[in-house]
Amino acid sequence: MTATLTRVMIDQLAIDFERADFRLSETLPFSWRRNLPPLVAKHTVFNYVATYNDFDRRFAEFLADAPDVLRFASLGTTEHGESGTTFRVDYLKPSGATGFYHPDLVVVEKKGPDEVNWIIETKTREWEGTEAKDEAIREWCERITAATNKVWQYRRVDQVAFEAFKGKRFGSAGETGRRTRSPGRAANAARYATAPTPGYSQRRAAPSP
């Protein structure tokens, strides 16, 4: 009964932005102490790429070399579920409680004359709650696209599938994670924090070891 009431209440909430004009290039400097030394890469919004493990590093190197990636950034998510940026999406956990989801990366893909903004989640394995987060961020992308007229999409990148991928272009990689959609759980991502707009600026974050 409680879970049903929670879903009904969430479905009634309108989209909500906090600092909708915020740009990733305005992120304050933050420290990073994982997977050192820090990765320096082309096309990144920040001066370093905050990689959590070797798989994250290999994927970031792939993005840096992909000819169809205009720019990208690691959002600096830690094992404690915190983030170096202010971007997060609130979602409904299977238990009915509110969870806070901090995605791993944001990527801008050049697709013909257009640009596509991607939220990327890298996974070494699937954890409890992964599908709920997938559903929440897909819902966020759909609603943010409708609200801003800028295309946002989500891709989960699982390690085993990515390691088998031999291509060079981000667009040809496809989605390596399983797509899931649970009926009756629409509007999982009911509340929205900052909508990041990747872009270059003279002011860039400077993570330090």
Place 76 in a pLDDT band, splitting at 50, 70 and 90.
confident
Mean pLDDT confidence for 182-187: 34
Residue 69: phi and psi, rounded to 5, are -100, 120
Answer whether 106's CB lies under 8 Å from 119's CB: yes
Q: Percent of the chain, pLDDT > 70?
A: 68
Output the pLDDT for position 81: 54
Sheet with 105-111, strands from edge to edge, namely 69-74, 105-111, 114-123, 152-158
Q: Is the pLDDT of residue 60 over 90?
A: yes
pTM of the prediction?
Answer: 0.75
Output the pLDDT for position 20: 62
CA distances from 48 to 149, 199, 206 (A): 30, 15, 7
Q: What is the DSSP string of 8-74?
A: HHHHTPPP--SSTT-BGGGPPP----SSSSPBP-TTBSSSSB--SSHHHHHHHHHHHH-TTEEEEEE
- With CA atoms as reference, report the closest residue to 68 among 26, 115, 31, 28: 115
Q: What is the pLDDT of residues 10-33, one digit of tens each?
A: 454 555 666 666 677 778 777 888
Q: Which residues pair with 105 in a beta bridge?
A: 74, 120
Ranges of each domain in the chain: 2-192
Q: What is the pLDDT of residues 61-73, one digit of tens each?
A: 999 999 999 999 9
- Which region among 16-25, 135-144, 162-171 has the lowest average model confidence (pLDDT)? 16-25
Q: What is the largest CA-CA distance in the chain?
A: 52
Give the Cα separation of 164 and 197 in Å (integer).
31
